[in-house]
């Protein structure tokens, strides 16, 4: 189909006919005057969709006595559909004529839209119509065709430099079940996919997908190669409805505004912006979380891991830059100073993007400093989401052992772990698979009685880099009390199992990353792992 308007035509005359003996369902009566079946299509509530020469529909004609025709192919000639199908002899018994587009060798029970609709949407636009009480006639049968799927219009304001390369919507199922009456419902067994939209002009894109309840993700690829994405609110997309999304593309972000008027199909309303906290693009190796992009990888343990350290700062927290502020919750990353004599904080945005912030366990686990006061509380935090995106969590002891294989007691070493080299968890093996691990240092605060911390990670023998560090985990590992062994004296320190990357070795092949116990007031880097 191409984009022109079909006018609604009326058939004014019905030809006179001879009275004859009624025909059998499939054959005209001997000597009867018969006519070819012709269908004049009318598209309801449409301004931009029409049939073009050569388009074919499947036609079924059913009488009370049986089927006269089943899935007969009729072809469009610019005005109407026709073919070799003939009417049965005229009589008083009408028939139901139904038709669908696009034609298939068998009446479809399923229909899939194209993932790439950039060349046009017509092949993905399943339409059908029917009319009851039709009598054989020399005149064409007027059948109103209706859209059975859902149309999305993307109205785009492009504030980025250059034309957009593509706009895509992901998260929808691409297949529909087609009932006997040609109504369409989403095939819940179909895989979700990504649809590339058709560009009508510089400000308008469109696509078609099966009706379904879905929270879509809109992705824009700019001419400069930048990829911008935004989640859309979960919406019930109904058959035959058109929904409009107004999109504002800025150089570094994508915004969804409310839609304008609906001009064609049936008014389905607008789709606004949804929760944009997390946008997962696992197939592309990254997620966007609180508008920051993080690379991710599915490691050989079968789990998806962030391959960059967390750099999210929740509202109400000021990132710390003083060792005397032992309850800051979050601190700036560490680098070696210019004289290569010690570690220091860095506020350089490029360093923050590369190394992330350093988090104390309570904040990393979603609490405030001072909230943890008992072992039971600490034990309940295993696998907590904490500051990680929804559907992700702070690594557990099982995650650590399953990845690198080695940890301190009471965790039991796993010599079958994919990144265990026979001695240690191997940074070289991890990084060969894209884990991007190095030593990030830490702010060492031994327990909650300390009033000042120290920089951890600088070693004079390896003065060109931070050589050790600690990373936060969520599995409880131990406790000390203000009075040794006396729980009633109050908690002095709690420990969680985390990672300890170490690059204080002669060769990179010796760099290790094992499980260790991390005191809860120590500030270390955070990596999140996706829930199974």
- The predicted-structure confidence for 319-373, as pLDDT tens digits, reads as follows 999 999 999 999 999 999 999 999 999 999 889 989 999 999 999 999 999 999 9
Residues 398 and 480 in one domain: yes
In a domain? residue 365: yes
Q: Which domain holds residue 439?
A: 294-530
Residues 189 and 61 in one domain: no
Q: Which residue(s) pair with 41 in the sheet?
A: 143
pLDDT, tens digit, 9 for 90 and up, residues 167-220: 999 999 999 999 999 999 999 999 899 999 999 998 999 999 999 999 888 888
When pLDDT is averaged across residues 307-315 and rounded to a whole number, the result is: 94
Distances, alpha carbon 514 to alpha carbons 47, 408, 430, 471, in Å: 64, 8, 12, 10
- Those residues with Cβ within 8 angstroms of residue 456's Cβ, 6 or more apart along the chain or in another chain: 343, 441, 442, 443, 444, 468, 469, 470, 522
In a domain? residue 6: no
Looking at the 3D structure of the chain, how many domains does it have?
Answer: 3
pLDDT, tens digit, 9 for 90 and up, residues 273-295: 444 478 788 988 988 888 678 99
* Rounded Cα distance, 408 and 139, in Å: 87
Per-residue pLDDT, 43 = 63
In a domain? residue 8: no
Give the pLDDT band (50/70/90) at residue 518.
Answer: very high
Q: Which residue(s) pair with 243 in the sheet?
A: 152, 269
In a domain? residue 66: yes
Q: Which residue(s) pair with 152 in the sheet?
A: 207, 243
Q: Which residue(s) pair with 320 in the sheet?
A: 331
Q: Closest Cα to residue 354, out of 530, 525, 528, 529?
A: 525
Half-sphere exposure of 369 (CA within 13 A, CB side): 17
Residues 143 and 158 in one domain: no
Distances, alpha carbon 197 to alpha carbons 4, 206, 248, in Å: 19, 5, 16
* Rounded Cα distance, 143 and 8, in Å: 10
Name the average pLDDT for the chain: 86
Residues 205 and 353 in one domain: no
**Which of 276, 310, 337 is the last residue before a domain boundary?**
276
In the predicted structure, residue 10 carries a pLDDT above the cut 50: no
Give the pLDDT band (50/70/90) at residue 265.
Answer: low
């Amino acid at each position: 189909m191409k984009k022109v308007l079909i006018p609604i035509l009326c058939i004014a005359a019905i030809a006179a006919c001879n009275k004859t003996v009624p025909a059998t369902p499939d054959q005209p009566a001997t000597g009867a005057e018969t006519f070819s079946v012709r269908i004049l299509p009318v598209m309801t509530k449409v301004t931009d969709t029409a049939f073009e020469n050569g388009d074919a529909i499947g036609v079924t004609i059913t009488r009370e006595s049986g089927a006269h025709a089943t899935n007969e192919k009729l072809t469009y000639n610019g005005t109407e559909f026709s073919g070799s199908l003939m009417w049965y002899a005229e009589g008083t018994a009408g028939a139901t004529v139904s038709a669908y587009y696009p034609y298939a060798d068998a009446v479809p029970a399923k229909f899939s839209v194209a993932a790439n609709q950039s060349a046009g949407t017509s092949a993905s636009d399943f339409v059908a119509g029917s009319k009851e009480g039709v009598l054989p006639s020399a005149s064409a049968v007027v059948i109103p065709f209706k859209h059975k799927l859902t149309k999305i219009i993307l109205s785009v304001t492009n504030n980025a430099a250059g034309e957009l390369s593509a706009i895509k919507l992901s998260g929808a199922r691409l297949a529909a079940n087609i009932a006997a009456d040609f109504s369409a419902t989403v095939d819940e067994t179909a895989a979700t996919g990504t649809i590339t939209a058709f560009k009508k002009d510089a400000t308008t894109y469109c696509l078609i997908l099966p009706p379904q309840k879905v929270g879509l993700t809109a992705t824009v690829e700019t001419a400069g190669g930048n990829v911008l994405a935004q989640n859309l609110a979960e919406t019930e997309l109904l058959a035959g409805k058109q929904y409009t999304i107004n999109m504002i593309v800025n150089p570094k972000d994508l915004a969804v505004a409310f839609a304008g008027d609906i001009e064609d199909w049936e008014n389905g309303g607008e789709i606004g912006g949804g929760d944009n906290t997390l946008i997962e693009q696992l197939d592309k190796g990254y997620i966007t979380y609180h508008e920051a992009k993080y690379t991710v990888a599915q490691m050989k343990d079968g789990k998806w891991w962030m391959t960059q350290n967390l750099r999210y700062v929740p509202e109400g927290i000021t990132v710390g830059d003083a060792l005397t502020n032992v309850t800051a919750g979050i601190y700036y990353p560490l680098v070696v100073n210019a004289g290569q004599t010690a570690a220091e904080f860095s506020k350089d945005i490029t360093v923050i993007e590369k190394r992330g912030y350093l988090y104390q366990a309570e904040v990393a686990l979603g609490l405030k400093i001072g909230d943890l006061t008992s072992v039971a509380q600490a034990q309940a935090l295993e696998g907590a989401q904490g500051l990680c995106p929804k559907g992700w969590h702070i690594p557990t002891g099982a995650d650590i052992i399953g990845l690198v294989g080695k940890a301190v007691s009471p965790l039991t070493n796993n010599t079958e772990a994919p990144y265990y080299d026979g001695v240690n968890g191997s940074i070289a093996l991890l990084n060969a698979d894209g884990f991007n691990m190095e030593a990030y240092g830490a702010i060492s605060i031994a327990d909650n009685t300390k009033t000042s911390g120290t920089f951890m990670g600088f070693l004079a023998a390896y003065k060109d880099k931070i050589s050790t560090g600690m990373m936060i985990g969520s599995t409880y590992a131990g406790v000390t009390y203000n009075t040794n062994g006396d729980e009633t004296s109050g908690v002095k320190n709690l420990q969680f199992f985390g990672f300890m990357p170490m690059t204080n070795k002669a060769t990179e092949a010796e760099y290790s990353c094992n499980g260790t116990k991390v005191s809860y007031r120590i500030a270390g880097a955070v990596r999140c792992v996706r829930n199974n």
